[in-house]
Amino acid sequence: MVIVLGLGLGVYLFCCYCLALVCKKAGSEPGLLIWFPILQWFPLLEAAGMSGLWFLAFFVPVLGLVAYVLWCFNIVRAREKSAFVAILLLFPVTNLFALLYLAFSSAAPEEEPPQKYKSMALETA
């Protein structure tokens, strides 16, 4: 029994650590709330650029599902990843892999702005 509780606590703490990394990499400081089960939604919503009032939506049956879907796409956009990762966040098994990807992947490389005009000069030697 103690081993199962210890493993459960370890998994929970690791998931909270991953959520904290996602918040930091999205440009938001998670604070202590990220370590508390229900209250962790406040820093997660802030990292996704959503209002803290969306927290109330999680307690309304259909609206909670809409809020979760919006959060998935907003947090992926905040981390500059593809929409495919947001889709993976929606499903029970793949959401763990998507969370690990969001937490431990680096930021998307900055693209150089395309040049409007290319030089057509000939080089002579």
| pLDDT tens by residue, 66-125 | 999 999 999 999 999 999 999 999 999 999 999 999 999 987 555 565 666 655 566 665
Each residue's pLDDT tens digit, 39-53: 999 999 999 999 999
> pTM for this structure?
0.81
Question: What count of other Cβ atoms lies within 10 Å of the Cβ of residue 91?
Answer: 11
| pLDDT value of residue 106 | 87
Each residue's pLDDT tens digit, 7-34: 999 999 999 999 999 999 999 999 999 9
Quick one: CA torsion of 12, 18, 90, 48, rounded to 10 degrees? Answer: 130
Q: What is the DSSP letter of 36?
A: S
User: At a CB cut-off of 8 Å and minimum separation 6, what does 111 contact?
Assistant: none
